A = this chain, B = another copy of it.
Amino acid sequence: MTSVKYDESTPPKKPTNSKIVYQNPWITVREDQTTTPTGETGIYGYVEVKNSVMVVAVNDLDKIYLVRSFRYPSKSWGWELPGGGSDNQDLLEAAKRELEEETGLTASKWVHLSTDYVCNGLLTERMGVYIAQDLQDNGVKEDSPHEVFAGADFFSPAEIDKLIAAGEINDCQTIAGLYHAKAWLARK
């Protein structure tokens, strides 16, 4: 049943021109004119976004810290791993900053798990996933209007599986991060 239609050395679509059609401090939208190896032309619209991070903060009971976040495009709330944009800095540094800003937690032990594409058909963004261990609570959370949570707590892997099955965790980025976290917990 294996099928091979394209050799990987040949991109099936290449840009012939690229223009910025919208830009704000967080995203740049481009429309490229494209051509295929057989000469078909078209357009491709996509969004350039800085790389981002998600942090799996694990306590001594192997429970994982989740925050209940509001998401503007869908006007909905859901449980998520803490994380955010990288400001183009080193992803580990971004992970440390995001964890402390969002949760007041710091960690003395960090492990890089993965760097994945968030939505590879539409965004350039890659998301680094990090384990944070040996947690301390500094008791101070940065009060940013961009980071608002309706709750935050530690959940066991079994509780997380239930939240995912119930659709209470319904964010592909968080679920992908938790896939890596479960594999890490199984290896530990």
Chain A residues at the B interface, C-beta cutoff of 8 Å: 1-8, 11-13, 21-22, 24, 26-27, 29, 31-32, 34, 36, 38, 40, 42-47, 49, 68, 70-78, 103-105, 114-127, 137, 141, 145, 148-154, 161, 164-165, 167, 170-173, 175-176, 178-180, 183
Q: Is the interface of A mostly helix, strand, loop or mixed?
A: mixed
Alpha-carbon separation in the docked complex, A151 to B3 (Å) = 5
With A127-B172, A179-B175, A180-B164 as known contacts, state yes or no: A72 contacts B116, CB within 8 Å.
no
Alpha-carbon separation in the docked complex, A148 to B127 (Å) = 25
Q: Are A172 and B6 in contact (CB under 8 A)?
A: no
Q: Are A120 and B1 in contact (CB under 8 A)?
A: no
Residues of B within 8 A of A38 (CB): 145
Residues of B within 8 A of A179 (CB): 164, 175-176, 178-179
With A45-B24, A47-B47, A152-B2 as known contacts, state yes or no: A72 contacts B115, CB within 8 Å.
no
Distance (Å) between the CB of A84 and the closest chain B CB?
8
Among residues of B, the one whose C-beta sits closest to the C-beta of A32 is B72
- 24 A/B residue pairs, CB under 8 Å, sorted by A: A1-B154, A5-B148, A6-B149, A6-B150, A8-B70, A12-B70, A12-B145, A21-B22, A22-B22, A22-B29, A34-B72, A47-B47, A71-B117, A71-B121, A74-B124, A74-B126, A78-B120, A116-B171, A118-B119, A118-B172, A119-B119, A119-B125, A127-B172, A161-B183
